[in-house]
Amino acid sequence: VANAGEAVKPRPRRPGPRPRNARLSSMPPSPEESRPNLYGLGRPGLRSFFEEAGAPPYHADQAFRWMYRAGRLDPSGWTDFPRPLRSRLGEIARVEEGSIVDRGEAADGTVKYRIAPADGDAVETVVLAQSGRVTLCLSSQVGCALECRFCLTGRMGLVRNLGPGEIVGQVALARSDRRLGDGPFNVVLMGMGEPLGNYDAVLEAVRILTDPEGFGLSHRRITLSTAGIAPAIERLGREPRRPRLAVSLNATTDAVRDRLMPVNRRYPIARLREACRAFARETGDRFTFEYVLLDGVNDGAADVARLARIARGHGAKINLIPYNPVPGRLDYRPTSRERTLEIRDRLAALGARVAVRWSRGAEARAACGQLAVEREGEGAASRRAPRPSQGRNP
């Protein structure tokens, strides 16, 4: 499956996000935009670029280090390049990581950025800091094709895939905003989008992030979360450098999962579990099941018993996620705190490894399932201009 997201065709969308996008893409490119953007190219892409430019291919490795390790985006400062090439680079290419157009901060220190990539619609990125641990939650698509019923991003439909540069650019921008601290940080692909629906770009981004001469992140610190595109999970298991895997299970029967997550009609639980087994067999890695608790929908005693059985069958850990309601937009209610703790204890008693991922960032609309770029009534001009943030503390 080259682009697994394609396999799950979104139903025709109500009019909304599309028109502006169509207008943007039909605009003639400015001279600025006709130059290729080097930011986001991995080593192979950079090598072809320099070859085509008639320059020695080893410049690819130098450019890679400048852009991703040093964060220096202006080729005129790439001191190990011959001077003429430096100035020529400015004429034949550009190096743009995008920019932060808005930031909101919640009382718990969670920061949500709205980032305008060099070439398109804004995406959202969240930095969570908790007891010394910094986690960056990245988006992989603008919108999402999977239409999970409880998720706000799912309501947008898929607007487009992000390129590798737009994915690593989220890390670079948060890093330059000094939000990542000096120590190691974690990256989770749990923002907007289905990462396995944008497979090639996400994996190229992971390669850039984990390259010792790129961002130098350990691949153990990157977690990819998927709604369960089975063939793409199997493909991921065959990658030499791959992130950790988290699977959003969210229901233990096909009847309920079909309803919550339409992707289940294509890859039902048994098929998904087969893919998880293949991944574990291939990699020897343990993975995580995420389970969003929805009051009266998937939090009954029988659900809990089945969940424990499934997780134990895979030696997988369970992350229980309290539901972040989206009042007025989506009809689901969170399971109560007491019941959540009861479920956790019951799962543990049944021999499952389990933790509750208490929600953070809700105040800045930065919590799971709350990421969506409000588009209606938003003029194109406002996209790039800084706007007052809504979630910031007084």
Query: Closest Cα to residue 226, out of 255, 256, 263, 252?
Result: 263
CB of residue 250 vs ligand SAH: minimum separation in angstroms?
A: 5
**Which candidate, 97, 232, 210, 66, places its Cα nearest to that of 163?**
97
Based on the residue annotation, tell me whether 276 is a catalytic residue of this protein. Answer: no
Residue type, 271: R
CA-based angle 295:297:299, to the nearest 5? 65
Neighbours of 354 (CB within 10 A): 22
Q: Which is the catalytic residue, given 96, 105, 124, 290?
A: 124
d(CA 46, CA 130): 37
Closest to 259 in 3D by CA, of 271, 251, 269? 251
* Residue number of the CB atom closest to ligand SAH: 369
**Which positions from 202 through 231 interact with ligand SAH, judged by CB under 6 A?**
225-227
Reply yes or no on whether 148 is catalytic. Answer: no
Q: Are 307 and 348 in contact (CB under 8 A)?
A: no
106 scored as a contact of ligand SAH (CB under 6 A): no
Judged by CB under 6 A, how many residues of this single chain contact ligand SAH? 17
Report yes or no: 375 and 16 within 8 Å, Cβ to Cβ: yes
Whichever of 209 and 251 has its CB closer to ligand SAH, that residue is: 251
- Residues numbered 121 to 160 that lie near ligand SAH (CB under 6 A) are 150-151
Nearer to ligand SAH, 198 or 210 (CB): 198
Quick check: 38 and 95 in contact, CB under 8 A? yes
Give the contact letters, 290-319, x = binds to ligand SAH (CB under 6 A), - = no: x-x---------------------------
Member of 203, 368, 372, 373 binding ligand SAH (CB under 6 A): 368
Per-residue binding letters, 166-205, with ligand SAH (x by CB under 6 A): ------------------------x---x-----------
Q: Which residues pair with 189 in a beta bridge?
A: 224
The radius of gyration of the chain's CA atoms, rounded to the nearest angstrom, is: 21
Q: Does 340 bind ligand SAH (CB under 6 A)?
A: no
Nearer to ligand SAH by Cβ, of 214 and 391: the residue is 391
Provide the mask over 234-273, with x wherever binding to ligand SAH is found by CB under 6 A and - wherever it is not: --------------x-x-----------------------
Nearer to ligand SAH, 171 or 227 (CB): 227
Query: Which is closer to ligand SAH, CB of 28 or CB of 328?
Result: 328
Contact 171, 134 (CB under 8 A): no
Residue 303 and residue 352 in contact, taking contact as beta carbons nearer than 8 Å: no
Q: Which of 137, 144, 148, 368 is catalytic?
A: 368
Binding residue (CB under 6 A) for ligand SAH from 123, 217, 321, 373: 321
- Order the strands of the 111-116 sheet from edge to edge: 99-105, 111-116, 123-130, 133-137, 186-189, 222-226, 244-248, 288-293, 317-322, 353-356
Smaller CB separation from ligand SAH, 118 or 158 = 158
Active site residues: 124, 368
Residues that bind ligand SAH (CB under 6 A): 150-151, 190, 194, 225-227, 248, 250, 290, 292, 321, 323-324, 326, 368-369
